[in-house]
Amino acid sequence: MTKSIMKSRVIILCITIVGLLSIQASCKNTKVGGTADCPEKGVEELSSILKNRIQDKFTFYYAKLKVSIKDSKSSNSFNATVKMKPDSAFSGTVKVAGILGALYLIDQDTFAYAQKIEKCYKKQSFSALTKTFGTEINYSFMQQLILGQAVGIENIEVLYPLKDKQYYVLASHDKKAFQRLDAYNLSDEEQNDIFIKYKLDCGSLQLAKIEVNVPKDQTVIYVDFKKREPVEGIDLPEETAIKIVTPEDSVFIDLGYSRASLNEPKTIKLSIPDSYSECE
């Protein structure tokens, strides 16, 4: 009888401990912030803000861009236009010193362009952009980057809060995983993961910065949405700085937006004259 009572007490104690641990686990990681500049916020609230931006509904996006690209070997600047039908394709022009230099089109599978001066064209898969970004990218990445959205968030099931004095930070992995990343101590499975941090401004709750770390390619992409502007109730980028760090080099890309508009459809196309040959 005594043994039975003792056994029951042990079982009850174990259930109680497990229950308390479960409650603690369910309460864990539900808040982020907690500093003077960043008052405590719910992870779900901030997660919803990021995910809802991906779902912003508009039929067309247009903007003019000033683009600067620099690495250790060269530096180039040009003006461009972007005509985008979300989740479909975007195209535009590229001008250097006011002279039309190229036309381009990017869709779900292909990156294509035609150079007016050389009278040639090129059609490539997205793998052609791997050299620039240091890792494989897709159409969704390009679209979300241009629109100032949380790149890759649709593929993340759970967002984890990380401590930061300046921003609300939600991440694809928890604190311990990022510590293993920093210590070069990832498991074989984690080596194939993509580690992402989303940093939200503590005042406006707008997405301010993104860090994308791809361990298998030893590549880190830093995106700084330095300035935004509201267009029809949607905050779009006005100034973006991108830094891409790879084992070979670092690439710096600055984007300055102007005349951004929504829901004013324009023709998306790339016409290549028959006289053009394939670019070498």
DSSP 209: E
pLDDT of residue 135: 84
Closest CA to 89 of 102, 108, 104: 108
Give residue-wise pLDDT tens across range 82-132. 999 999 999 999 999 888 899 999 999 899 999 999 999 999 987 777 777
- Model confidence, pTM: 0.87
Containing H/E element for 57?
none
Task: Return averaged pLDDT per consecutive 10 residues of the chain, 280 residues in all.
Answer: 47 40 46 91 95 89 97 95 96 91 93 94 84 83 95 94 95 96 95 97 97 96 97 95 95 97 95 94
Instruction: Round to whole Å and give the CA distance between 175 and 178.
Output: 5
> How many other CB atoms sit within 10 Å of the CB of residue 10?
10
Contact 207, 51 (CB under 8 A): no
pLDDT of residue 171: 97
Contact 256, 66 (CB under 8 A): yes
Output the CA–CA distances (angstroms, integers) from residue 171 to 29, 156, 234, 245, in the order listed: 11, 9, 23, 20
Containing H/E element for 127?
none
C-alpha dihedral, 220 to 226 to 229 to 235, nearest 10°: 40
Structure tokens at 158: 């759970």
Instruction: Round to whole Å and give the CA distance between 100 and 272.
Output: 14
The residues, any chain, with a CB within 8 Å of residue 273's CB and separated by 6 or more, are 114, 119
